[in-house]
Amino acid sequence: MRVLLIGVGGVGEAIALIAEHRDPDSQWLEQMVLADYDLSRALEVQQKLIEGTRFPAEQVDAGDPESVRLDDDLPCLARIIAGPGWRHKTTLWVSLSVPYHTP
């Protein structure tokens, strides 16, 4: 399974840590993309994981309509999920983003 985890605050971080602990040999979790509006936060969580390469970090603002539209010139949410040629072809999308949050 390839997961796109949108929002890596406290709950997202816990999910990533538990997923890595529960599946250390990648038997069911091939990859979990750590996506957040704050890329530095996603990278911070990635650094806490033993297998950082299995947990790539991406910047995605789920509250911004421009971030979620499909555009060949923009690394947007739609391309991260399933776009042709994009580096992450996720099979499950978990959104932990707060819809009213404004950084």
End-to-end CA distance of the chain: 31
Segment 29-46 mean pLDDT: 93
Residue 15 Cα distances to 32, 57, 66, angstroms: 10, 14, 27
Report pLDDT for 74: 45
> Is 27 among the domain residues?
yes
Segment 5-27 mean pLDDT: 94
> Is 85 among the domain residues?
yes
For the chain, how many structural domains are there in total? 1
> Is 103 among the domain residues?
no
Report pLDDT for 75: 47
Both structure tokens of 65: 């309509």
| pLDDT band, residue 38 (cuts 50/70/90) | very high
- Greater model confidence, 71 or 28: 28
| pLDDT band, residue 60 (cuts 50/70/90) | confident
The pTM score is: 0.79
> Is 67 among the domain residues?
yes
> Is 100 among the domain residues?
no
> Is 102 among the domain residues?
no
Domain containing 56: what range? 2-95
- Supply the angle between the helices 39-48 and 10-22 in degrees, to the nearest 10: 30
